[in-house]
């Protein structure tokens, strides 16, 4: 079945949105929400992470126009974001967008806490690249109010998302989430709940196989990416994309696909495992398949 595409430009704003996880994706989601007029509570496990996240949002907001985005007022964007340590900080939110690592045990604990502290009408949005939404819903007492949204990185610059209802997700939850996405300037492509959805069933296989080419000595990372840029017209090669997303995130996503489908085509490349163990996570660590300048 073909995905359904929706884009209503005048979606309603909600009064308070929680963003759980102040990593790369959480920072992008919080910025996107704030710059489109939403009040945000950004939540993580300690003050330093939250302070670094606000500094990143300020920097990205200042550079928005230079990077092809809208001109933004840094003070206005930051004024819409408050921070809190611990998931309890999202207790008063109307909708919560979760962006923690692609590890089921970690996610389950977050949802058990959110379920206990949030009001009964709060919608939980799962920002995941692979974990089935129905599985996440099973960790709560409100599976009808759990829905998946796979945001793409960098979040403020990407015009579309995958919108994934679980088996028990209600039409009202889908409507509320689609309205919020529209208010954020996002087109939503509705996808059935299937591990990896559309994007990562294809992308993770591509990145994993590209890593195997380097692992096996067939080509170096630059050559692999050059073929994709020059021959296929991709703006970024698969290994540049891995560094942008995070090599560790790529590995976790491939592992989830491998575990879920029990199919050898998803077997993770050993190089991804070694790089993750070595802390070579890509742009966020300063080195992955490529080396990056760090501030």
The annotation places the binding site at 21-26, 44, 102, 107, 129, 153, 284
Given the structure tokens 């996503």, which residue do they identify? 253
Active site residue 200: yes
Q: Which of 99, 150, 253, 281 is catalytic?
A: 150
| Cβ neighbours of residue 66 closer than 8 Å, sequence gap 6 or more | none
For residues 148 and 97, what is the distance between their CA atoms, to the nearest angstrom? Answer: 9
What is the secondary structure of 144-178 as a DSSP string?
A: GGEEEEEPPSSGGG--EEEEEE-TT--HHHHHHHH
Hey, is 123 helix, strand or coil? strand
For residues 198 and 192, what is the distance between their CA atoms, to the nearest angstrom? Answer: 9
CA-closest candidate to residue 84, choices 14, 16, 13, 20 = 20
Q: Which of 162, 188, 253, 255 is catalytic?
A: 162
CB-CB contact of 124 with 249 (8 Å)? no
Q: How many degrees, rounded to 5, is the angle at CA 33 between CA 30 and CA 34? A: 85
Helix axes 199-215, 238-245, angle to 10 degrees: 110
**Annotated binding-site members for NAD(+):** 21-26, 44, 102, 107, 129, 153, 284
Active site residue 162: yes
Q: Which residues of 111-148 are buried (b: 16+ CB within 10 A; e: fewer)?
A: beebbebbeeebbbbbbbbbbbbbbbbebbebbbbbbb
Hey, how many other C-beta atoms are within 10 angstroms of the C-beta on 192? Answer: 13
Active site residue 129: yes
Active site residue 199: no
Q: Which of 127, 129, 188, 253 is catalytic?
A: 129
User: Which residues form the catalytic set?
Assistant: 129, 150, 162, 200
């Amino acid at each position: 079945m073909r995905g359904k595409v929706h884009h209503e430009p005048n979606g309603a704003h909600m009064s308070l949105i929680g963003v759980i996880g102040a990593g790369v994706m959480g920072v992008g989601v919080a910025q996107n929400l704030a710059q489109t007029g939403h009040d945000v509570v950004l939540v993580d496990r300690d003050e330093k992470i939250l302070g670094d996240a606000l500094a990143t949002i300020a920097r990205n907001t200042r550079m928005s126009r230079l990077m092809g985005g809208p001109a933004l007022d840094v003070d206005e964007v930051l004024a819409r974001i408050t921070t809190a340590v611990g998931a309890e900080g999202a207790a008063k939110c109307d909708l919560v967008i979760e962006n923690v690592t692609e590890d089921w045990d970690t996610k389950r604990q977050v949802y058990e806490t959110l379920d206990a502290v949030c009001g009964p009408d709060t919608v939980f949005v799962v920002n995941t690249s692979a974990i089935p939404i129905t599985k996440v819903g099973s960790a709560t007492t409100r599976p009808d109010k759990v829905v998946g949204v796979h945001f793409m990185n960098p979040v403020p610059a990407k015009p579309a998302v995958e919108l994934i209802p679980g088996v028990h997700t209600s039409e009202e939850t889908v409507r509320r989430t689609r309205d919020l996405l529209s208010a954020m300037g996002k087109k939503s492509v509705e996808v059935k709940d299937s591990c990896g959805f559309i994007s990562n069933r294809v992308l993770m296989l591509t990145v994993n196989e590209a890593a195997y080419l380097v692992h096996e000595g067939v080509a170096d990372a630059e050559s692999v990416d050059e073929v994709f840029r020059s021959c296929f017209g991709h703006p970024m090669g698969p290994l540049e994309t891995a560094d942008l997303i995070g090599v560790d995130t790529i590995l976790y996503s491939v592992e989830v696909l491998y575990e879920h489908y029990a199919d050898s085509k998803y077997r993770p490349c050993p190089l991804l495992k070694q790089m993750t163990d070595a802390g070579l996570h890509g742009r966020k660590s300063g080195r992955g398949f490529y080396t990056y300048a760090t501030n």
